Amino acid sequence: MRIVTLEEHISFPEMASQIPKEALGGFGQSERMQQLAPKLADITGERLQSMDATGITMQVLSVDSSGANLLNPQDGPAFARRYNDLIAERIVGFEDRFTAFAHLPTTAPLAAADELERTVKEHHFCGAMIRGLTQDKFLDQPEFAPIFERAEKLNVPIYLHPGLPPKGVADIYYSGSPNHAGMAEALACYGWGWHSETALHVLRLLYSGVFDQYPKLNLIIGHMGEMLPMMMARSERAFKPGNGGANQRTLTDTLRQQVHITTSGFFTQPPLKIALETFGVDNILFSVDYPFSTNEMGIEFLNAIELPDEEKAKIAHGNADKLLKLRA
């Protein structure tokens, strides 16, 4: 069976080294991140060997948190352009195994929209990934409209991935514990904070009317829906049309019509079951979150899904092929 994964990360040292350390807030300095650095830098070596060993047909690559959204509007566009060109260069000859989400300079939204269009037309990238907040701002701010407008025009999705928390949030929520100082990164990012922030981000886009303003826009979020499936019934009541927000449709209708979720990093069946009940099988796409999770973990989970073969194939590749317009 064809298998496509679309939250699979890279980080090129020559690019990551250009991000000011103060902007990273210590991200990437943990022992675990140092161990993963060679895997993030690699594409056609160990990564491809692992894909072959586990039966993964294609990965959609995306840059990790050390990116252009941490640079000023003057430096970000050239940085993003160079990064995208490097990705395109390194997958030449392997286009049947790799494609990518464009890396965007979100601190310069119009330049980001132009870069999205360039990468789609020149490199055949299949959308873009945006990592969390930009200069402490959510994407519901009007200044980011050019990105949504261009994505809708190009008919490519935006993958909204968690990003580094704002310093003020990190200082209050995730630091200062006298006994667990080493857990700050886990609390702020992959252990909890990332997921709640991304759910909040989606709700803000709903409440501000962004989905209604761009009704053909497709959004992707990872990690089995970033807590939204579990919260959907409660949030549905809070965000009904006419309750003070600009949204014209219900939360459930909007999410089912415009938001797709991946399984990245979630490899147990209970979260999948609630995702199926809330988002539906047509909105779920298989992903691993490589190298932060292993391909072996992902494939073991995929093989254990108890669904009819037709529905399982949708999750494994069919939904991704359709949404990203990939060649089967």
Question: Is 114 one of the annotated active-site residues of the chain?
Answer: no
Catalytic residue (choose from 75, 136, 289, 309): 289
The strand pairing partners of 284, in sequence order, are 261
CA distances in angstroms from 253 to 134, 156, 165, 240, listed in the order given: 28, 20, 29, 11
Whole-angstrom Cα distance, residue 6 to residue 265?
A: 12
**Secondary structure element (H or E) that encloses residue 102, with its range:** strand 102-103
Q: For residues 274 and 71, what is the distance between their CA atoms, to the nearest angstrom?
A: 38
Helix/strand/coil percent split, the chain, to 5: 50, 10, 35
Q: Please choose, from the candidates 278, 271, 287, the residue with its C-alpha nearest in 3D space to the C-alpha of residue 319.
A: 287
Confirm if 54 and 299 have CB atoms less than 8 A apart. yes
- Separation of alpha carbons 169 and 175, rounded Å: 9
Residues with a catalytic annotation lie at 289
